[in-house]
Structure 1
Amino acid sequence: MPDQDRCERRSAITAPPGGVMTDEVGVITGDLELATECTDGDVTVWVRYAGAAEWYRLSAADCHLYDPRDHEALHTALVAVLHRPAT
């Protein structure tokens, strides 16, 4: 992490049925990587296919945290909602 005002978290997820809606390409499915970046409390959410180079934005999940220390809890909650491997 470059400084304490910016932090990033990443997690491997499997998209839920129906996939994940991105701004750039619409719905993506399958094995993905979720990234959240928090800068001065502003959270940006990104997703990409596992192993791919290109990231896509999930702007509907972007938010502002009054306490940037809540970033990890928000990232964990997004993983819990979006990680839905087939059973």
Structure 2
Amino acid sequence: MPDEPTPDKAAPDKAAPEKAGPDKGAPDKGADAPSRSADIVPGPGGVMTDEVGVVTGELTLRTEYADGRVTLRVQYKDADEWYAVTGGSAPLTDPAALDAVHTIAVGLLNRPDG
């Protein structure tokens, strides 16, 4: 029986690379950079971003791994622009830990009931 994605382990984001948006300073990781995505609804206060401050409402969270670092980004659901989550970047020596980091980030930021 093939593995199916569960809420705890999101499937890899296989979308084409996003066009440059407000996060112009981010390196171009291309389609080969591992990432995970999940739709979230943050609690009161939203998610703080480096580019535009607080974002609220229905968002997509993307956890990316490139060059030994993990980076969290959010976008308004189905929008084109991605924003770096303030404080959401750290060294990650083992790319196999990407799933765990993404699961923790979703658990911390997804608060649909407040």
| TM-score, length basis structure 1 | 0.88
Provide the secondary structure at the position in 2 that maps to 1:62: strand
Answer yes or no: is 1:35 the counterpart of 2:62: yes
Assess if the C-alpha contact under 8 Å between 2:48 and 2:86 holds in 1. no
Answer yes or no: is 1:54 the counterpart of 2:81: yes
Q: Which runs of 4+ in 1 moved over 2 A?
A: none
Alignment of 1:66-77 (within 5 A): 66-77=93-104
C-alpha displacement of 1:40: 3.5
Assess if the C-alpha contact under 8 Å between 1:48 and 1:56 holds in 2. yes
Q: Tell me what 1:14 maps to.
A: 41
C-alpha displacement of 1:65: 1.1
For structure 2, the residue ranges without an aligned partner over 5 or more in a row are 1-13, 15-30
Assess if the C-alpha contact under 8 Å between 1:10 and 1:36 holds in 2. yes
Identity of aligned residues (%): 47
For structure 1, the residue ranges without an aligned partner over 5 or more in a row are none
* Structure-2 separation of matches of 1:50 and 1:80: 18
Q: What is the number of equivalent residue pairs in this alignment? A: 85
Supply the AA of the counterpart residue of 1:15: P
C-alpha displacement of 1:59: 4.0
Answer yes or no: is 1:81 the counterpart of 2:108: yes
When Rg is computed on C-alpha atoms for both structures, the one with the higher figure is: 2
